[in-house]
Structure 1
Amino acid sequence: MTGIEVTTSASMLSPITLFLQADIIVKAVMIGLTLASIWTWVIIIGHGMKLRRVGAKSEAFERDFWKAEDVDRLYDGAGKEDLPSARVFSAGVSEWRRSTAGKVVDREGTRSRLATAMAASVGAEMDRLYDRISILATIGSVAPFVGLFGTVWGIMRAFTDIAGKQSTNLAVVAPGIAEALFATALGLFAAIPAVIAYNRLTHRLNRFEAKLNRFADGFHATLSRELEA
């Protein structure tokens, strides 16, 4: 008989049972946190694969660039690729062609315009790569408080049940307290991966931005030498 009671109590405290027994407010909190957790993992997996792919292709493009003897041929061939480094390279070549098209070339003005064009291209590429990363920071900072709201609401409901039934028996208190703690757990389950992923992805993006800036600086130096020639 005792074993049956223990099994029944354990089944009553399962996550599905806790969700079904919760009131509409706590259910809304649980659903929202579950969706936030799913969204977090979609961003983590999607951006992780994207950064790995973009990084590998960009490295290959930069190797081809530094080995190329004819920049114009590389521009006509690989310069139109859908890669951050290729678009920075394309911005530099386009500005170079416009600035050196006339009979008289303003060397300092050309250098300044080249630096501005490639810096703007680097900024645009990083804005594109940072897209949706801020969502992870938002989830990481907001989810615990949403879970805490569900916790407070569940505890208030538990105290209401105690007052209504005029009993502090564990069978009366446990379901409401368990719902409250489950909401807290969901908040942490959504927030912890979001914070870790945000820090990790931001670190990888900062490294990629530094590498892209080094490529732009190297290309700018190459074009500056062409001006001197």
Structure 2
Amino acid sequence: MKKISVPLSLLGVSFLLAGCDTSAKDTLAVTDTLEEKEKGIVEQINAVTAQESQLQKQFSETLKNDKELKTFKDDSSKVFENIQNRKDALDTIEEDASELSDQSDKLKDIKGEELPKQDMTNLEEKLDSASGTLDEWLKTYKKDLDQEEKYFKSLSKEDATYETFTNGIDTLNGQHQKSNETLTQLDKQLSELTTARSTVAEKVQEQENKK
């Protein structure tokens, strides 16, 4: 077979062009993934809050239809299904949260002279802030669900009193207040992350289109 030789100068040009293209493509790959994960996280958080809004109704129906509160003992009350649905949603959010962390690492590793450095730095900061708050919310909300489950089970115990009922509700409401405050902060940070991501993606794509 005839040996094929390629001029060194041409190889050098190809390498440099590939290097420029790679940094832009890597950046756009990160922003695409971030967009997907942001949407997934928001969707699952909305699923959690939707389930949460049904909890009071399910709790009231159990009290009305199960005078002996047996369904709190055997976990057949709808409130336990509600809790499990929210746990499942949290598991999905955790997977996306892990991916956010991975994308943050990838973003920090991308180097390129033509990249919008200030916007890239801003995106890194917004991503780290949102990821940190998301992790905090997940940790807090998991504890909330554990306490909810513990509370509902306690209502079926023989030594349960009116104080068990009322004090438990007060405790749950106090815990949820902290979770809601964190969620409000997260909502703001996710919005800022979306703006920062869109800015980087638009500028990088605009530069690529000029080539």
State the TM-score, normalizing by the size of structure 2: 0.50
Deviation at 1:140, TM superposition (A): 4.2
Note the residue ranges of structure 2 that are not aligned, 5 or more in a row. Answer: 1-18, 161-211
* C-alpha RMSD of the superposition: 3.7
CA distance 1:87–1:143, change in 2 (3 Å):
closer
> What SS is found at the alignment partner of 1:47?
helix
Aligned twin of 1:87: 81
CA distance 1:191–1:36, change in 2 (3 Å):
farther
Aligned twin of 2:29: 32
Deviation at 1:51, TM superposition (A): 1.4
1:60 aligns with 2:65: no
Amino acid at match of 2:81: R
> What SS is found at the alignment partner of 1:132?
helix
Deviation at 1:211, TM superposition (A): 0.8
Deviation at 1:186, TM superposition (A): 3.8
Larger radius of gyration: 1
Task: From 149, 170, 186, give the equivalent of 1:212.
Answer: 149
User: Retained in 1: the 8 A contact 2:80–2:149?
Assistant: no
Deviation at 1:200, TM superposition (A): 1.9
1:197 aligns with 2:194: no
Any residues of structure 2 matched to 1:106-185 within 5 Å, and which?
A: 127-151=87-111, 154=112, 176=113, 178-179=115-116, 182-185=119-122
Q: Distance in 2 between matches of 1:49 and 1:37?
A: 18
Q: How many pairs are equivalent?
A: 140
Q: Which moved more, 1:48-57 or 1:139-148?
A: 139-148
CA distance 1:212–1:23, change in 2 (3 Å):
same
- Superposed CA deviations along residues 92-137 of structure 1, whole A, max 9, x for unmatched, are xxxxxxxxxxxxxxxxxxxxxxxxxxxxxx7x65652322222343
Deviation at 1:30, TM superposition (A): 1.1
CA distance 1:32–1:191, change in 2 (3 Å):
farther
Deviation at 1:212, TM superposition (A): 1.9
Query: Percent same amino acid at aligned positions?
Result: 9
Aligned twin of 1:100: none
User: Retained in 2: the 8 A contact 1:137–1:198?
Assistant: yes
CA distance 1:211–1:74, change in 2 (3 Å):
closer
